[in-house]
Structure 1
Amino acid sequence: MRKKITVLTGAGMSADSGLKTFRDADGLWEGHDVMEVASPQGFRANPELVLEFYNERRRQLLQASPNAGHEALVELEMKFDTHIVTQNVDDLHERAGSSQVLHLHGELFKVRSTAPPYTVYDWKKDLHLGDRCKAGSQLRPHIVWFGEEVPLLPHAASLTSMADILIIVGTSLQVYPAASLLYYASEGTPIYLVDPRPALTPTRGLNLHLIPRKASEGVPELVSQLLETVG
């Protein structure tokens, strides 16, 4: 039976593809307070601003391509049962070829209705006020905003708990509830952290291996090492 690998990825995974990380040190995201553009309150207060903000993100994503880190993770599927749990809303893992990807915080190329019954649609163009679902409600980005439940968190926790090997790439694991996933790993599970400025440090009882490299460099190196262990 093939070993199970769960990969947790964050903004640093896509930074090498030219996509900016979620927010800067000053708490701003592309010059906006995150609560203005990533919360239900922000959407109610200024829906035009929020929709245009995600239109810009969508346009950027259309111009981006997977990097060597994304591509390396695809190779793991040849020898391991590999699942990716990503905090990123881009589709770069899928475009690279990974087949088992769970988007914890939603997907930029999807939109959904704002009133039940909630319907999700594929969407790669701009979204405007007046764009409605079949039932007549305004469409919004299919993104989990601050203050909203993370419906796929139990599934992500299950994938983490079943992993024989856990890989963490480009996420500080400082923001909850996603940060809690680390603690679902079974005791003694090898954990590989790929990040140029890792926030985690090796501690007693945590089988943590630090790889202080950016994703496009550290992930291919790690994948090569893991593939060598299975021949």
Structure 2
Amino acid sequence: MSNRRVASNRSAHPAYDELRDATRELRRRLAHALSIEYDWRYHDGPEWAARYWRAFGDLAVDLAESAAAPRYRQVIARSEWPSLSRAEADDVRTIFRGLVAVAHPAVDPAAGQDERASLWPKILRAYRGGDRSALVAAWSETRALARGPGLPDDVVALRAEHDRLLEAAAAADRRLAEMSQTFPFNMRDKLDDAGWIRRQRLALAQVQAFTQAPAGEAACKQVS
């Protein structure tokens, strides 16, 4: 009887299939945006910051922000994925993106209610540390728990899930857009340009020289 009701519900709403496909696409879009966000926060962001401070830390005007400060020594000495090659790191990212799609509670609300809820923090820790073996194990465990697409059969509930995902994906896109305009994410393209680094170092050196007190003035301040 229940199967007949579901079939009747779908046949009564010709737009169900189109709405289901659109909802699935939104899940993919949200999972993709979240994967990029985690990658930026935990891997690319620290790497870009480290590269920036290697290039310009010796020219920092504010000593609290210089490369000699413990905060930036920690950034420069970041140790994520120390033993992974580029190919292995790409593999870790691929596995993680698949896990985001089936285990992140914002992508699939059911993941926050079943056994996957306890898996997600472990997945995130493994990704932050570049632990491929832990991610592979989590993939096997998570795929066994995620049975089917998990979308509502009821058209009204499906519409609500579509709208929720649309809002969540838009919010993720906004966060990425905002991050791309802030340090160190706005440096990601420039740090590969040796000419830009050279010009920036010259400009920072000029600012540093301009803001430093003349030697005579500094001596007078010490005497007084």
Normalising by structure 2, we get a TM-score of 0.22
Higher-Rg member (1/2) = 2
Q: Which has the higher strand share?
A: 1
Q: Which has the higher helix share?
A: 2
Q: Which has the higher contact order (CA 8 A, sep 6+)?
A: 2
Normalising by structure 1, we get a TM-score of 0.22
